[in-house]
Amino acid sequence: TFTDETPPPIDPCQEDPTLPECQPVEPPIEPDSWNWVEVPNSAMDVVKIPAIDESQLYTDVGAFASWEMIQKAESGADCADGSLYVTGGGHADGAHNGVLALNVESMEWRRVMEPSPLLMNSDGNIIGYHNGDRIPGDYTCPDWNCNLGPDGQPTAQHTYDLLTSDSEYLYMMGGSAWKKGSRGHSPSAFRMPIGGSAWEPITDAMPDGTIITKPNGSAHHIGGEIYLLNGNGWFIYNIDLDQWSRRSRLAGWSNLSTTEYEPVSGTFLSIGNGRAVVTSLGEFGVSWEAIEAPQRLIDGRNFGMLAYEGLSYIWDTGRNVDVYNPVTRDWSVLEPGGANPGEDLKNGAFGRFSH
């Protein structure tokens, strides 16, 4: 399954057995009690500036180009430098490419990147960020699937679980472009400096020119590399080299599955859309092992999933949270008190369930 240009991944524990992730793992201890707590004044529309934002109304398809649409547009999120970064739009859910960050100490939102100005057609109607040859002026798009607007910023995207970060950058490794639902044209992978306010494109193709990003999937930063699973396959992006390498893809795996990396045990868990499988970091793209799991999780898709102190937590947008222990391979269910945060969440939590 590997070509001469694609060497198999190296198990870091073989190179350096003293690494923390290579030490024997004790079964984690589950917290005794959990409670959902609603953060006051935490709705995304608290960042609105009426004089600026009320003009960003998109009426053709009943969607708003406004900040609160981010949470309804299958958006992803990632925690970096004490903040939860969120962005998302796409399809007819929201013609909005702005970025917000929630400070996890003050629990206040701030505007990180302002939304690009909406474009208008020759009739003077707001049409979103791109719309083929209907856009007047010098900026043209070959079809409806443009990923880059005239201001050089990515257009509105469903970001799903495709946001990840390191200590310097927030990364967006694909997504679903506004209106058509396609990945669209290159560039389709971006990074934003932590503390910055604009995206910059990064390599989104193999050395042979094959585009690797797709609308849906899952991205994970691990040790200077980004592990990406999507409908095109499984890939590893070397950040320093700005270069991708391809890995084998598990037959039958779907990008509608949810995947998370648990660093204490060094385990990837992928679940949903018909299967539940695990693999180690060194075996990524080489072999996966089927595991037993609750049938409703195997049959479901687009969960929120996070790793915390040796356990994987899967949130199916209801009150309860499923817990997987990668050492014992046991499942349990947390039944938190407090409000039910999933009452109005219809389309999945994706990367917005974060730690």
Q: What pLDDT does 131 receive?
A: 40
Q: What pLDDT does 293 receive?
A: 96
Fill in the amino acid letter for 238. N
Highest-pLDDT range among 16-25, 54-63, 138-147: 16-25
- State how far Cα 146 lies from the chain centre: 20
Query: Reduced to 3 states, what is the DSSP secondary structure of residue 301?
Result: coil
Residue 273 buriedness (CB in 10 A; 0-12 / 13-18 / 19+): middle
Q: Stretch 46-74: mean pLDDT, rounded?
A: 65
Per-residue pLDDT tens over the stretch 73-105 = 778 899 999 999 998 876 666 667 889 999 999
Q: Stretch 329-350: mean pLDDT, rounded?
A: 81
CA nearest to 101, candidates 90, 116, 113: 113
- State how far Cα 324 lies from the chain centre: 21
Cis peptide before 187 (omega within 30 of 0): yes
Q: For residue 1, what pLDDT band results from cuts at 50, 70 and 90?
A: very low
Contacts 24+ apart (CB under 8 A), 219-224: 219/161, 219/162, 219/163, 219/164, 219/171, 219/173, 219/174, 220/164, 220/259, 220/260, 220/261, 221/164, 221/165, 221/166, 221/171, 222/261, 222/263, 222/281, 223/12, 224/166
Cα–Cα distance measured from residue 218 to residue 266, given in angstroms and rounded to the nearest whole number = 17
Cα–Cα distance measured from residue 263 to residue 222, given in angstroms and rounded to the nearest whole number = 9
Cα–Cα distance measured from residue 81 to residue 83, given in angstroms and rounded to the nearest whole number = 6
Highest-pLDDT range among 80-94, 100-114, 120-134: 100-114
Residue 326 buriedness (CB in 10 A; 0-12 / 13-18 / 19+): buried
- State how far Cα 5 lies from the chain centre: 28
Residue 28 has pLDDT above 70, yes or no: no
Could you give the dihedral angle defined by the CA atoms of residues 270, 275, 280 and 285, in that order, rounded to the nearest 10 degrees? -90
Q: For residue 233, what pLDDT band results from cuts at 50, 70 and 90?
A: confident
Q: Stretch 305-312: mean pLDDT, rounded?
A: 93
Q: Stretch 32-43: mean pLDDT, rounded?
A: 83
Residue 271 has pLDDT above 60, yes or no: yes
